[in-house]
Amino acid sequence: MKEIRGPAIFLAQFMGEEAPFNTLDTICQWAASLGYKGVQIPTNDARCIDLDLAAESQDYCDELAGRCAEHGLAITELSTHLQGQLVAVHPAYDDLFDGFAPAHLHGKPQARQEWAVDQVKKAAIASRRLGLQAHASFSGALMWHLVYPWPQRPAGLVERGFGELARRWRPILDVFDENGIDLAYEIHPGEDLHDGASFEMFLEAVDHHPRANILFDPSHFVLQQLDYLGFIDRYHERIRAFHVKDAEFRPDARTGVYGGYQDWQNRAGRFRSLGDGQVDFGQIFSKLTQYGFDGWAVLEWECCLKHPEQGAAQGAPFIADHIIRPTSYAFDDFAGADVDQAKIDRTLGLKS
């Protein structure tokens, strides 16, 4: 069995205007001081990485990795969550998602989409230059407004939607394949890939592309009331990245899965800091270890109650305590004996 690596931390939710959160070097120093061994880097933040330069220059990538290594940190994955979202946007969401793109692309959905595709492709090249194995992203969504079938969805609509999603992503997946990088889609409400069934339909539409894989984040399964342990059993061969994020689901007479348009604190389903929610991380780490996952366990902090710095400080030891050192021998080996074919036959009542 292989060992999960970590603890690591996704920097996106921590970058800010004040030290130590305003430069890559200072935030790496901060993360290392908490006990983290890796950082997942958001490629939309120029303070963390110049993605255009990373796709062009091996020297720049070596220097970037070296800056992290000076603090005892590895780069775990690059993230294009925001750019991946823009690969597929229904026009109803154009105004809201313009904020994910540079200002000169606002109000220009076609140009914005072309920019996003280019960004994700560049992330594949940069990941190779950095010596990474996987990449974190979103699929985007053409059909999220149709997730609840009212009015009734016309026959063929879902198939057409996944066909178009596959048409947009297939050339990107091919670039990831050329660079030897697994593209791990975070299975997430708001994306067309939001559960096992939708991932399977997409996988079918891209002809089971070897680079179409999964970022596993159990918090999104809690909020959807899905079996996140069974998900690992079913899809472990495609899980290539892991966000360690907690959540809770406490429905009442007022709100349930849909949340009643309430803010995060007043929803039945809420993201929480590690250990404060309902996710069974003991079983998750056990199953991932059992199936040989050797990627990084990356804290993604999104808590509606706890301060991020407290969540980050508590997250590193929480993850470290859950990482399992795989055993190299069976616990009952001490009672074993040399193989004796005659003895085996006698035990079975057979004649040698």
Extract long-range pairs of 45-48: CB within 8 Å, 24+ residues apart. 45/11, 45/12, 45/15, 47/15, 47/22, 47/23, 48/11, 48/15, 48/24
User: Look-up: residue for tokens 């899980």?
Assistant: 239
86's CB contacts (< 8 A; 6+ apart) are 97, 100, 101, 112, 113, 115, 116, 140
CA gap 265, 276 in Å, rounded: 14
Q: Is residue 67 part of a domain?
A: yes
Is the N-terminal amide bond of 102 cis, ω within 30° of 0? no
pTM over 0.75: yes
Pair 66, 131: CB distance under 8 Å = no
Pair 130, 64: CB distance under 8 Å = yes
Q: Is residue 250 part of a domain?
A: yes
C-alpha pair distances (Å), 103 with each of 108, 208, 261, 291, 309? 10, 36, 29, 44, 30
Parallel, antiparallel, or unpaired for β 74-80 and 182-186? unpaired
What are the backbone angles phi and psi of residue 261, rounded to the nearest 5°?
60, 20
Q: Is residue 292 part of a domain?
A: yes
CA gap 279, 226 in Å, rounded: 12
352 residues of the chain, pLDDT tens digit each: 899 999 999 999 999 999 999 999 999 999 999 999 999 999 999 999 999 999 999 999 999 999 999 999 999 999 999 999 999 999 999 999 999 999 999 999 999 999 999 999 999 999 999 999 999 999 999 999 999 999 999 999 999 999 999 999 999 999 999 999 999 999 999 999 999 999 999 999 999 999 999 999 999 999 999 999 999 999 999 999 999 999 999 999 999 999 999 999 999 999 999 999 999 999 999 999 999 999 999 999 999 999 999 999 999 999 999 999 998 776 666 666 677 888 888 889 998 6
Parallel, antiparallel, or unpaired for β 246-249 and 269-272? antiparallel
Q: Is residue 93 part of a domain?
A: yes
What's the confidence (pLDDT) of residue 344?
Answer: 87
What's the confidence (pLDDT) of residue 331?
Answer: 65
Count of structural domains, the chain: 1
C-alpha pair distances (Å), 240 with each of 61, 92, 252? 22, 32, 35
CA gap 93, 85 in Å, rounded: 11
Structure confidence by residue, pLDDT tens digits, 285-331 = 999 999 999 999 999 999 999 999 999 999 999 999 999 999 877 66
What's the confidence (pLDDT) of residue 337?
Answer: 65
Domain that holds residue 93: 5-347
Phi-psi region of 63 (alpha: psi -120 to 50; beta: other; left: phi over 0): alpha
Q: Is residue 352 part of a domain?
A: no
Q: Is residue 340 part of a domain?
A: yes
Six-digit token string for 54: 């990373």
Six-digit token string for 181: 């990088």
Pair 302, 311: CB distance under 8 Å = no
CA gap 143, 98 in Å, rounded: 18
Q: Is residue 255 part of a domain?
A: yes
CATH of the domain at 249: 3.20.20.150
CA gap 61, 170 in Å, rounded: 26
Distance of CA 349 to the CA centre of its chain: 53
The conformation of residue 300, written as its DSSP 8-state character, comes to: -
Structure confidence by residue, pLDDT tens digits, 133-145 = 999 999 999 999 9
Q: Is residue 40 part of a domain?
A: yes
